[in-house]
Amino acid sequence: MLEDFKCRCCGACCRIEDGIVRVSDAEISRIAAFLGMGESDFIANETDVAPDRKGLVLKSRADGACAYLTEDNLCRINPVKPDKCRTFPFEWTNPDSANVCPGLALVSGQGS
């Protein structure tokens, strides 16, 4: 059924309250280069220390959404977005993912 999943580009997965997107060193390099920034500037301005203090996470906007979510629900860094974003929902989900993602709800039988 997951092979029938189609992203609706609604941005719901990018607005999960208290959602965090960890970034690896390789992802930091890729995103910084894409944005035309040095890695140290990217780290200083675009990341926070993870809540568990074990790495870095992308900053969120004041409303809790990912800082890279555009007004039309697209990812500003889509070509280089982190693996966590790239692999959802095919390689991982949370127990409530179908409640958050309308496209996932449809293929899991929870949506209309």
- In this predicted structure, what is the pLDDT of residue 17? 76
What would the pLDDT profile of 72-111 be if each residue is shown by its tens digit? 999 999 999 999 999 988 888 888 888 889 888 888 776 5
Query: How far is 27 from 20, CA to CA, in rounded Å?
Result: 15
Contact 99, 89 (CB under 8 A): no
Virtual torsion, Cα 76, 81, 87, 93, nearest 10 deg: -70
Residues whose CB is less than 8 angstroms from the CB of residue 79 and which lie 6 or more positions away in sequence, other chains included: 34
Name the band, by pLDDT with cuts 50, 70 and 90, for residue 2: confident
What would the pLDDT profile of 11-51 be if each residue is shown by its tens digit? 999 998 778 999 999 999 999 999 999 999 999 999 999 99
Contact 21, 57 (CB under 8 A): yes
Contact 32, 41 (CB under 8 A): yes
Q: Where are the domains of the chain?
A: 2-107
Q: Which two tokens stand for residue 60?
A: 């969120």
